[in-house]
Amino acid sequence: MTSELLRSPYDETAHNALREAKNKQAAYYDRGTRQRPPLSVGDTVRTRWDRKKPREKAEVIKVLPHRSYQLKFENNTTRLRTSRHVRFS
């Protein structure tokens, strides 16, 4: 069978409606978001592992893909954290 015989006249209409609905949902979702400022090597940041504990001071030693950073803490340990868990100080 050819691909033309398998296509329905409603395929394109349904596909366009689905794309439009996804764009509308994305617009509502992105309404309250903001871009996080990018960090560079040498920046001093604060991060924490537990919400009940205070934030620890660290230094960015390596910028990784996907908004991830390698941090060096004051006790000379290194850990990986994403921008979601890091605050510029």
CATH value at residue 69:
2.30.30
Instruction: For residue 82, give its domain range.
Output: 44-88
Q: What is the pLDDT of residues 48-77, one digit of tens each?
A: 888 898 999 999 999 999 889 999 999 999
Number of domains in the chain: 1
Please give the model's pTM, rounded to 2 decimal places.
Answer: 0.63
- Spatial CB neighbours of 78, under 8 Å, sequence gap ≥ 6: 61, 70, 71, 72
Is 13 a domain residue? no
> Which band of pLDDT confidence, cut at 50, 70 and 90, is reported for residue 22?
very high
- Which tokens sit at 8? 């329905």
Q: What are phi and psi of 36, to 5 degrees?
A: -85, 140
Asked whether residue 39 is domain-assigned, the answer is: no
